[in-house]
Structure 1
Amino acid sequence: MKPQSRRPQGIDPVHRTRARRRAMQAIYAWQLSGGVAQQILAQFAHEQAHEIADLAYFEDLVRGVINDTAVLDAGLAPHIDRAVEEVDPVERAVLRIAAYELHQRKDVPYRVVINEAIETAKRFGADHGHTYVNGVLDKLAAEWRSVEVNAAKQR
């Protein structure tokens, strides 16, 4: 008998990783330009559609972050050492996407959210940005996903 996978059927983790990376780039561009969500989505869908295998997830992340920025930033604020707008733009984009996933995408385990954010920060961020991202998200996950985090600690 095959062991049961916790991953929902039809979800390819590689496609989700690519969607998160493209979403980070889109959110980064949005942070710098202040554009409208639809413009950012259209630009990325047109220019990089061949690289975004999970387009629906990409769009959910981008729309979600742009629409819920105030809530996400309010959640992040107590766990960072400066104003959210002063955080490096790459790390800020990574944190906002991960915060959105922790807050709205309960189908994604918190450990996956944090690991994906760390890997994205390693790839695109400053030298030690991933450690900052890890520390902030560990605290945010303990607050927003306390039941899940506590259950994981009991194992």
Structure 2
Amino acid sequence: MSQPQKKSARRRSRELVVQGLYQWQMTQHDAMHIELNLRDETDEFNRCDIPLFKSLLSGVIDQVETLQQQVTRYLDRPYEDISPVEKAVLLLATYEFCHQAEIPYRVVINEAIELAKTFGGTDGHKYVNGVLDKLAAELRAPEVAAGRAPRKTDPA
């Protein structure tokens, strides 16, 4: 029997950012207030990558209008009709595409899918995946193109 995989500190950070962005959507509190609330409410906080958490949460909140505009181009419905969890995941991934170039786009998408599976509705992860695939092709075009280029094989 295999043991469950331990969550990395970075994964915990992203989970807390999604929770924080959900709170932000409901309350419009600033990032510091949300951070303090999460510190008080969860034991996970001390096991996350705190600098990453702070950077992601404040970065998304500070740039939410730009991030929304980028995401909205690839939605099949009005932004307002997207669930708060899916919005949080999409905003976080979009921020990472734009400001965390050292993280491969496939990792950003995979993390977003896992977050949507953990916190979202039944098929929310499929929707997130579809939107982020299109967004990655725009925001990380050279990286995506390199990943999709046919590989040369050795001659027989």
Q: What does the per-residue CA deviation read over 1:77-123, in whole Å, with 9 as the maximum and x for residues that have no partner?
A: 11002222320011110100001000111011100000000011011
Between 109-118 and 80-89, the greater mean CA deviation after superposition: 80-89
Structure 2 length-normalised TM: 0.87
Counterpart-to-counterpart distance in 2, 1:112 and 1:90 = 19
After TM superposition, give the deviation of residue 45 of structure 1 in Å: 2.9
Offset, 1:139: 0.3
CA distance in 2, matches of 1:49, 1:66: 23
Which residue in 2 is equivalent to 1:33?
27
Q: Are 1:68 and 2:70 matched, yes or no?
A: no
From the CA coordinates, give the structure whose radius of gyration is larger.
2
Report runs of 4+ in structure 1 exceeding 2 Å deviation: 45-53
- Whichever residue aligns with residue 148 of structure 1, its letter is E
Aligned residue-pair number:
144
| Residue aligning to 1:21 | 15
**Does 2:33 correspond to 1:42?**
no
Instruction: Give the letter for the 2:116 counterpart.
Output: A
Q: CA offset at residue 47 of structure 1?
A: 3.2
Partner Cα separation in structure 2 for residue 100 and residue 66 of structure 1: 10
Residue in 1 that maps onto 2:148: 153
Instruction: Give the Cα separation in 1 of the matches to 2:72 and 2:15.
Output: 23
RMSD: 1.6
Partner of residue 57 from structure 1, selected from 43, 49, 52: 52
Question: Can you give the 5+ residue segments of structure 1 that lack an aligned partner in the other structure?
Answer: 1-12
The alpha carbon displacement at 1:49 in A equals 5.8
Unaligned runs of 5+ in 2: 1-6, 152-156
Identical amino acids, percent of aligned pairs: 44
